[in-house]
Amino acid sequence: MRVVIALGGNALGNNPSEQREAIGNASKMVADLIEEGYEVILAHGNGPQVGMIQNCMPSQISLSACVSMSQAYIGLDMQNLLREELYNRGIYKTVVSVITQVSVEEEDSAFLNPTKPIGHFMTEEEARELARAGEHVMEDAGRGYRKVVASPKPVDIVEIQAIRNLVDNGNVVIACGGGGVPVVKKGNRLEKVDSVIDKDFASARLAELLDADFLVLLTGVERVAVNYAKPDQKWLSQITVEEAREYIRQGQFAPGSMLPKIEAAMEFSMSKAGRKTLITMLERASAGIHGGTGTVVVA
């Protein structure tokens, strides 16, 4: 079974040592699945990391360049720590990161309405100061304020054939880091655009193009809930795409938090008969793939 797993950038810590510790823990879960015979492809977010990189760079360095830097910064730790975990188990697979470009439409309406949070959380006063400087900021699911940028939908993955060849030949591939570097195709030229592609949508597109059976979107909770944090809160074990649409209509899922995961799950699960998406936390991912927990979205 081919599985694409998307790790959240916020789960990878706030500094290099925290990142290595978090990736080390994730590597054990991934190695468990590989040991069981699953074909695993990894993607990851970069929300805090790309913000930190951008804050360290001169102003003339583009956001797109910072996204590519974050792919290498996170990917290097992922490939080395997962390789070590696999080798310790006698599994001699090559783990490789692919600096990935993802094409978007130049006319995507997202460029008119920046909504994708990046970087560290801020207080309300810090957010107001940034807004006065001309930046877009928003409150992020009750956790604080963050800078926001445009988040166009992924159309295609430029390096997909190379990624497919690597996977088909038994390698463990890390791709679409941070949603990929957004580009617009203009003839034979790829033009970078300053925006951030949601890693869940990019992961869903990656899983679809690789003909994966399962997409796993990792988050901070074991299951998705409706009426979240209310007296009548209800945890969901499995929902259909139609049920998900109704919950979205009711406003059950927070934009910039659970909503893109649900929408990405719907896209992948509808893309071909038999495909499923699991939403759960890292520590429960293996149990979730085996049907023991998490929220599964089916067509």
Catalytic residues: 9-10, 116, 199, 261
Residue 191: other Cβ atoms inside 10 A: 13
For 13, half-sphere exposure in the C-beta direction (CA atoms, 13 angstrom radius) is 15
What phi and psi values does residue 260 have, to the nearest 5 degrees?
-65, -30
Of 22, 5, 2, give the one whose Cα is nearest residue 13: 22
State the burial class of residue 290 (Cβ atoms within 10 Å of its Cβ: 0-12, 13-18, 19+): exposed
For the beta carbon of residue 101, count every other beta carbon within 10 angstroms: 20
**Helix or strand or coil: residue 104?**
coil
- DSSP labels, 41-97: EEEE--HHHHHHHHHHS-TTS-HHHHHHHHHHHHHHHHHHHHHHHHHHTT----EEE
Q: How far is CA 98 from CA 73, 102, 124, 139, 246, in A?
A: 12, 12, 37, 32, 37
